[in-house]
Structure 1
């Protein structure tokens, strides 16, 4: 009897592992920055970031009757977003320097792509929320940036995570573009 119990437990664990192992545990996230130069005239800016998300995964695969499968980012998402913002600000003419009077803090609040299985396709619902806080000489402004998108991808068996990752990278890049093009941010950094 103990042998049967042991075998059943082993088979159950193996079957659960087989289902979950189809998906990678992490995907590479790399937002890109496209912005114009000439916005700033060498204004020094210090940049920091924090990750305030409730969960550390970025993709959640939901299938009826099964436990969700989650996939994280293979690189540090907070660092990726901070580097993209630094690159964008530098392209616009700001000078990134520790201890500068103008401080910019980026906070990740939500970055999630939910993959929901349909009959012959998968819906990918993305929710992104990032906050920027700018401080200088006792003044502070806080800006919230949100993006949501929904896409449908064909697939009867498993979603193609490369397509989900590309969609997520596209939305993160557009969100970064929103931050860099924000007139309030530009006036705050550009002012003396």
Structure 2
């Protein structure tokens, strides 16, 4: 009898969570202009130090949160987008370069909070860039937060949540690419 109750409970919980995908595709965009760098070389690496590996947390009253991950490797995706922007700006990426840049993912989370006739999406993003060359070091923190309300009575539209998250990730990469301190360090100033 006990196993039957456990099975029914597990089935009920999985049926509730099965409405949502286990992962969504994250794909921020990068817009960068050329002429920022004059062919300098930089080695770029990244690491993911987030406390959780999911990127969306759906919270409904009196229910356990449902979490949704990224279907692609978020760390590799963000490193690739930053590399793409830096290359467009005129940098060469070389593993043996004297100037080293590291991107650290610290927090990427969109909390979906259910209301009566709508839901709020609260996004918190935090990343860090560290540059090193000849004993000199520059560390910069980048943060983005946003809150949006979407209509919806039954389930949140995860496509809208994903679009909102992609927008904030894109803006965060733009912040890194436009940072004058980073540009000056790489340019040797």
TM-score for the superposition, normalised by structure 2: 0.98
Residue 137 of structure 1, aligned match among 117, 128, 134: 134
Q: Distance in 1 between matches of 2:107 and 2:7?
A: 37
Unaligned runs of at least 5 residues, structure 2: none
1:93-137 CA deviation, whole Å, 9 max, x = no partner?
Answer: 000010100100000000000000001000000000000000001
CA distance in 1, matches of 2:81, 2:9: 44
Three-state SS of the structure 1 residue aligned to 2:76 is helix
Kindly indicate whether residue 109 of structure 2 is the aligned counterpart of residue 115 of structure 1. no
| CA distance, structure 1, for counterparts of residue 128 and residue 141 of structure 2 | 5
Q: How far apart are the structure 1 equivalents of 2:69 and 2:3?
A: 32
Alpha-carbon distance between aligned partners in 2 of 1:9 and 1:89, rounded to the nearest angstrom: 53
Say yes or no: does 1:168 pair with 2:151.
no
Give the paired residue count. 189
Structure 1: give runs of 5+ residues left out of the alignment.
none
Q: State the match for 1:29 in structure 2.
A: 26
- Listed as ranges, the matches of 1:171-182 within 5 Å are 171-182=168-179
Q: Does 1:63 align with 2:60?
A: yes
Aligned position for 1:189: 186
**Deviation string for 1:47-104 (max 9, x for gaps)?**
0000010000000000000000000000000000000000000000000010100100
User: Normalized against structure 1, the TM-score is what?
Assistant: 0.96
Which runs of at least 4 in structure 1 moved beyond 3 Å after TM superposition?
A: none
> Aligned-pair distance for 1:190?
1.2
Matched, 1:157 2:150: no
Distance 1:48 1:87 in 2: 13
2:160 aligned counterpart, secondary structure: helix
